[in-house]
Structure 1
Amino acid sequence: MPLNDGLSIGALADRTGLAVSAIRYYEAQGLIKPWRNAGGQRRFERADLRRLSFVMIAQQFGFTLPQIKAELDRLPGGRTPTKADWAMISEGFRDALDERINTLTKLRDNLDGCIGCGCLSLEACALYNPTDRAAKKGQGPRYLMGDAPGV
């Protein structure tokens, strides 16, 4: 197939491993933007292979489609993203990933004691939450969310 003919949705599905319905969904979300050939068939740029691969990877890291779209919108349309383009996007995700890594590390390190929910179900809370002081700071696992144990 000549490069300027684009990829059919079936070819894109075969190359990415995504279902055609998923590709249509991502299209509806604005993550990829196909064009129509002279016969009215939907065609995709080869760069969409990388874009969809990025979507799948970013979702595995826990990013939402709106977050992923915001990053993809920074890429140039109509041309294959360069290494510099992808480096720019990785900067956008680095801080969020570092924060998630820190949260998961805290969770792992305190999992055998308490997750900071203030349930008072343990005689000795590993996160020092007597009389449920954490509840005064708000809902959820306060200490894992960044609040310091203490008054």
Structure 2
Amino acid sequence: MKLNHCGKQKESQQTNSTQIDQQNLIQTLAEEENQLTEKHLGQWLTIGELAQRSGVSVPAIRFKDLIWSTRTQGNQRRYQRAMLRRVAIVKIAQQVGISLQQVKDAFAILPRQKVATKSDWKDMSQAWQTQLDQKIMDLLKLRQQLDKCIGCGCLSLQQCPLRNPNDQLGQASAGAHFQEVISNLMNIQFSQD
């Protein structure tokens, strides 16, 4: 009978020990999950944090499909830290006259499932190289000829190498197009007096 009682007691202790081990394991896993979640959330930014760190307003963060977010269980937007670089690229592109559509097209070659590498960014920037080179040439030409252009006073802009190179407006039709518009406006004003 004692044997029976000891056997049951040992069995009971083993059951309690197993339950405690399971509870400890569950608690340990829960703690690890919390740590992983905290670490994971540390790599995600709220829209306010992204705006503050990028120097862009919250409404401007919602660029049309240029950056993306994920939603928390509470339906709040979270952005990967890598979106900071995309926002910076958008700002730089706008400063040099690259349209948002062109930025969107360039971003389309970047991976969405992982953070873009240096090589990915280099490939993307090649798409803008020719366009930027042309803009630089146009700006240099403008700088060299601006004083002549402003001082010439031609309303037809027939000779203007910046506004009407090779008289492209004259090929469309004869006459001083801008002169006609001004004359028409003046005639309307004089007619009313």
2:40 aligned with 1:3, yes or no?
Answer: yes
2:106 aligned with 1:71, yes or no?
Answer: yes
Unaligned runs of 5+ in 1: 128-132, 140-151
Which residue of the other structure, out of 113, 126, 129, is the alignment partner of 1:91?
126
Which whole-Å CA distance do the structure 2 matches of 1:3 and 1:74 have between them?
Answer: 26
Q: Which residue of 2 aligns with 1:148?
A: none
- Mapped contact 1:110–1:126 kept (Cα < 8 A): no
Higher helix share: 2
Q: Secondary structure of the equivalent of 1:119? A: coil
Correspondence 1:84-123 to 2 at 5 A:
84-114=119-149, 119=155
Q: Deviations over 1:61-109 (max 9, x none)?
A: 1111111111111110032211101111111111000111111111111
Correspondence 1:1-151 to 2 at 5 A:
1-4=38-41, 6-24=44-62, 26=63, 29-114=64-149, 119=155, 134=167, 135-137=169-171
Give percent identity, aligned residues only: 39
Distance 1:50 1:100, change over 3 A: same
Moved over 3 A (4+): 115-118
* Bigger relative contact order, structure 1 or 2 (CA pairs below 8 A, ≥6 apart): 1
Deviates more, 1:107-116 or 1:85-94: 107-116
Q: Secondary structure of the equivalent of 1:92? A: helix
Shift of the alpha carbon at 1:33?
1.2
Distance 1:51 1:126, change over 3 A: closer
Distance 1:111 1:41, change over 3 A: same
Q: Give the count of matched residue pairs.
A: 130
Distance 1:20 1:126, change over 3 A: closer
Deviates more, 1:48-57 or 1:2-11: 2-11
Aligned CA-pair RMSD: 2.9
Larger radius of gyration: 2
Shift of the alpha carbon at 1:136?
2.2
Q: Which residue of 2 aligns with 1:130?
A: none
Which whole-Å CA distance do the structure 2 matches of 1:77 and 1:126 have between them?
Answer: 47
